Every structure is written in structure tokens, then in C-alpha cells.
Amino acid sequence: MRINLLGAPVDCLTMEQAEERVAELVRSGGPRRIITLNPEFLYRAVREDHTLMELVDRADLVTADGEGIVWGGRVAGTPFPERVTGIDLMLRLVKRAAAEGWRVFLLGAAPGVAEEAAENMVKRFPGLQVVGTQHGYFKPHEEAGIVETIKQRAPQLLFVALGAPAQEKWIDRHIESIGDVVAIGVGGSFDVISG
Ligand code: UDP
């Protein structure tokens, strides 16, 4: 079920159901977009930048990230069962990836951070295949090369940590050329996992 919050469709799911939905998206293939929607993003989409609302509309899964969104669901009369934040969803997906053999790629954060996050995750979830990392302070002319590298490594899951809404815009610009991947913006998650 989807709840309409100020024009944004948000999926009404527990964390466990969100993980299952992602597993279905991975199985069905194709470029897939996931947005964990927080109040700041929704505010900007409504008030400042309508292209953000189009990104939400195009997403295959939109989760309620933040108390403000959960509260909005209660006010609308259709409560969300719980918050599904980027970091929590990422950790669940990485655990699942290790179990299922899904390849993952980490894009974003300061130089060195994605590598450290990858090392920590592999320690925590042995067998996890991290097929590539790339920091998030690249120049515009480097983007095409980065997209090509991601495509060649063929991850099933692409975590993008460039901050919202830059990461959602980046995913929208490039996912069609990457192809068969499920991409999700995860904000400052690499900093948390690497620390
Ligand atoms: N970041 C990046 N490239 C940039 C700007 C930011 O890789 O050009 C990274 C930054 O290092 C941090 C993340 O994006 O790891 C943003 O984290 P923040 O908590 O600010 O994002 P939010 O949760 O607000 O979306």
C-alpha cells in the first residue's frame, strides 16, 4: 500500500517488508530506484524543487525515513508501521547481500571512507562481495568513467552516499546507463559504518 503525503507516494512497509521488496526488485532486474524519504526532502520537493517530486514518483520503493514522515502518516489516517531509514535499510540489505551472493558497490563519502565501510561490513557479514568503491568528491568530467566502472563491475546493489538530494539526482541521471541495478541513496551512512 502507498500513502500520499503532500503529493509524494510513500510505501507503507515494515523494515522487513522493505527488505523483501528490495529482494524482489533484485530478482526482477532492470534499473530500480529506492528513496528513503525524510521530511527535509519532502519539504524541498513541495516548496522548492518540483523535479524532486518527479524523482519520488519514478522510484520503485519510497520508504518513510524520519519521525516527521511517520507523523504525517498518522495525521493522514494511514499510519506507517515504522521508520525505514537509509542506514538501517542499508545494513539489512548488506546482510542479505552476503547471504544471497549479491554484489554491492559503494559510491560516495570522502576518500577512503567507502573502503573502510566496506572492510567493516565484510568483517561483520563474511562472504559479502563488495565489487567496488568510489569516493564522492569527483569532478563532473570524471562521472562518465565512474558510471562505466560501475557498469563493468555489475553490482546488484548500488549504495550512493552523496547526501540528499544530490544522490537521488545522481542515481536518476545515470541508472539507465548502468542498467541492471538497484540503487539507493543512503546519505551519511558510509561515515557511520566506517567509524
Ligand atoms: N558527500 C559526497 N560528495 C559531495 C558531498 C557530500 O560524497 O560532494 C558525502 C559526505 O561525505 C557524506 C554524505 O555525502 O558522507 C552526506 O552525508 P549527510 O549526513 O550530510 O547526508 P544526508 O543524510 O543529510 O543526506
Q: Decide if pLDDT at 64 tops 90.
A: yes
> What does the pLDDT read at residue 85?
97
The closest alpha carbon to 4, from 40, 42, 49, 44, belongs to 42
Q: Say what percent of the chain tops pLDDT 90.
A: 96
Q: Determine the residue of 63, 113, 171, 191 to mutate for testing ligand 1's pocket, defined as the one with the most ligand atoms within 8 A of the Cβ atom.
A: 191
Cβ-proximal residues to 134 (8 Å cutoff; 6+ apart), any chain: 105, 106, 107, 108, 114, 146, 149, 150
* pLDDT digits 0-9 by tens, 105-138: 999 999 999 999 999 999 999 999 999 999 999 9
pLDDT band at 24 (very low <50, low <70, confident <90, very high): very high
**Choice among 72-81, 160-169, 181-190 with the minimum mean pLDDT:** 72-81
CB 70 within 8 A of CB 39: no
Measured at the alpha carbon of residue 45, what is the angle toward residues 39 and 48, in degrees to the nearest 5?
115
Query: 109 CA to middle of ligand 1, Å?
Result: 6
> What does the pLDDT read at residue 139?
97
Q: Say what percent of the chain tops pLDDT 70.
A: 100
CATH no. of 2-194: 3.40.50
- The dihedrals phi and psi of 135, each to the nearest 5 degrees, come to -70, 170
Ligand 1 and 163: CB distance under 6 A: yes
Q: How far apart are CA 106 and CA 69, in angstroms?
A: 27
Q: Which atom of ligand 1 is nearest to the CA of 113?
A: 15
Average pLDDT over residues 56-70: 96
Q: Decide if pLDDT at 78 tops 90.
A: no
> What does the pLDDT read at residue 30?
85
Q: Decide if pLDDT at 98 tops 90.
A: yes
Q: Which atom of ligand 1 is nearest to the CA of 164?
A: 25
pLDDT band at 76 (very low <50, low <70, confident <90, very high): confident
Query: 161 CA to middle of ligand 1, Å?
Result: 6
Query: 135 CA to middle of ligand 1, Å?
Result: 11
Ligand 1 and 40: CB distance under 6 A: no
Q: Which residue minimizes the CA distance to atom 19 of ligand 1?
A: 188
Q: Which residue has the cell 521508520?
A: 83
The count of C-alpha atoms lying within 13 angstroms of the C-alpha of 188, restricted to the half-sphere facing its C-beta, is 3
Average pLDDT over residues 59-85: 94
* pLDDT digits 0-9 by tens, 27-50: 999 899 999 999 999 999 999 999
Residue ranges in 65-188 assigned as alpha helix (H): 67-76, 86-100, 113-124, 143-153, 166-178
CA distances 54 to 8, 59, 75, 154, Å, are 9, 9, 24, 27
Q: Decide if pLDDT at 5 tops 90.
A: yes
Ligand 1 and 90: CB distance under 6 A: no
pLDDT band at 8 (very low <50, low <70, confident <90, very high): very high
pTM score: 0.98
Q: How far apart are CA 52 and CA 165, in angstroms?
A: 8
